[in-house]
Amino acid sequence: MLVKNRLLIPGPSQVPPEVNAAMARPIIGHRSGDFAKFHEELAKKLKQIFQTENEVVILTGSGTAAMEASVSSVVNPGDEVLCIVTGKFGERFAELAKVYGANVTVVEAKWGETYDLDTVTKLIQEKKFKLVCATHNETSTGVTNNIPALGDLCRKYDALLLVDAVSSMGGMDIKTDEWNVDLMVSGSQKAFMLPPGLSFVSISPKALEVINNNDSTNYYLSLKKAKKSQDKWSTPYTPNVSLFYALDEACNMILKEGLDTVFMRHKLLAEACQEAVKALGLNLLAKEEISSYTVTAFTGNVDTEAVRSLLKKKFGFAVAGGQDSLKGKIIRIGHMGYMDFADLFGVIAALELCLKEVGYPVELGKGVGAAMDVFYRGGRD
Ligand SMILES: *Cc1c(COP(=O)(O)O)cnc(C)c1O
């Protein structure tokens, strides 16, 4: 029987045919006037999606490249850095800051929960931090963390705020400037619906001043060089021009659909997915109030790995499992970027059939019915 492959992991995500086609355009030199003109226009579109007046630099490299570029461009050995860790990607910031010699203070939340604001507030009041690192959307657990509260604290106590929005920018309403985020990082292969290989950082004037006065030990991942080149609409080294074309097309698609519509679609997909999971008697890993709009993680009294492999084999749906301590215990469905309701109804229907096959009690249609209900009513109560 024919089975189509459908990529519903929380990144890389599905790529629209228009974006794939854009990558077939002829390569141009990155020191040419044509590239400069194109780059300048592209940066304007990216700034709209980031909701920022700050410059957004585009790096050739996956999301972690932008994370490392940010940390290494700001941190000197011995600097005090606060890392808010709510899962795998929060840990990455702490590891990076340590690699570059920072004195790292870690605030940890149980996986599936968000950070405790009182604890963070106390720490920031007690100690002068140069940099605070946080994850907006923790892809490993499906939790969205409160960033505006951190922005207020960092403004008040004069720390730079670095935020990882790799799996949420382009799908969720992120107000970079209003939230006072100095360095906002994202990547290509999540809600931006691009192939992997590009990452982005918006740089506030305050962050730029620190970066320009820093003796950083980086070379390829220097934000100082990236920003200096960008001032002439160039890049320090050869960029992935094909992915720049793809980014341009993806930005056009996002802006044409309209940011508000894109954000509403992601919210509705998330609500529909969460309601389906609950209707099937499965358990959401994160409470609804802190649930991500781009990825849903759930567990249940069932062999999740067996369900996952059946989903792939019988229906071609690739969904993710858990990482580290959650390995083998959860399923994560990505609903970001180039994803519509037919995709969601499909994966929930397939999930029900696979659950039934491994012996989990399912009344067929119950999950997909709950998802349809959210779609029909335009939201849940
Ligand atoms: C995917 C992701 C990253 C970046 O990972 P790469 O593999 O380097 O692209 C960083 N943070 C979060 C929250 C992510 O989801």
The H or E element that residue 347 is part of is: helix 341-357
Mean pLDDT, residues 321-343 taken together: 97
How much distance in Å is there from the Cα of 167 to the middle of ligand 1?
7
The whole-number pLDDT of residue 273 equals 98
Question: Cα(153)–Cα(147) distance, rounded to whole angstroms?
Answer: 10
Residues 104-117: tens digit of each pLDDT: 999 999 999 999 99
Q: Which of 218, 212, 178, 177 is nearest to 65 (CA)?
A: 218
Share above pLDDT 70 across residues of the chain, in percent, rounded to a whole number:
100
Residues 157-203: tens digit of each pLDDT: 999 999 999 999 999 999 999 999 999 999 999 999 999 999 999 99
Residues 336-373: tens digit of each pLDDT: 999 999 999 999 999 999 999 999 999 999 999 999 99
Question: Cα(251)–Cα(50) distance, rounded to whole angstroms?
Answer: 11
The neighbouring-strand residues paired with 60 are 198
The whole-number pLDDT of residue 352 equals 98
Task: Strands of the chain (E only): list them.
Answer: 6-7, 55-60, 80-85, 103-108, 131-135, 137-138, 143-144, 160-164, 183-187, 198-203, 283-284, 295-299, 317-318, 331-334
Question: To which residue do tokens 């932008």 refer?
Answer: 66
How much distance in Å is there from the Cα of 113 to the middle of ligand 1?
19
90 pLDDT band, cuts 50/70/90, is very high
Ligand 1 atom at minimum distance from 189 CA: 9
Side chain identity at 267, as an amino acid letter? K
Whether residue 381 is predicted with pLDDT greater than 80 in this model: the reply is no
Dihedral (Cα; 52, 57, 60, 61), 10-degree rounding = -60
Side chain identity at 55, as an amino acid letter? E
In order of their start, the domains of the chain are 17-256 (3.40.640.10), 258-377 (3.90.1150.10)
The whole-number pLDDT of residue 64 equals 98
Taking residue 357's Cβ as centre, other Cβ atoms within 10 Å add up to: 13
Q: In this structure, which residue's CA is closest to atom 5 in ligand 1?
A: 63
Per DSSP bridges, beta strands 6-7 and 317-318 are: parallel
Distances (CA, A) of 161 to 20, 204, 363: 34, 10, 47
The whole-number pLDDT of residue 216 equals 87
Which of 7, 62, 95, 186, when mutated, tests ligand 1's pocket best, judged by the most ligand atoms within 8 Å of its CB? Answer: 62
Mean pLDDT, residues 206-225 taken together: 96
Question: Cα(351)–Cα(278) distance, rounded to whole angstroms?
Answer: 13
Q: Which of 109, 65, 68 is nearest to 85 (CA)?
A: 109
How much distance in Å is there from the Cα of 327 to the middle of ligand 1?
17
Mean pLDDT, residues 120-135 taken together: 98
Ligand 1 atom at minimum distance from 190 CA: 1
Q: Which of 95, 100, 55, 98 is nearest to 223 (CA)?
A: 55
Distances (CA, A) of 63 to 39, 69, 168, 177: 20, 10, 12, 21
Residues 266-323: tens digit of each pLDDT: 999 999 999 999 999 999 999 999 999 999 999 999 999 999 999 999 999 999 999 9
Side chain identity at 33, as an amino acid letter? G
- pTM tops 0.95, yes or no: yes
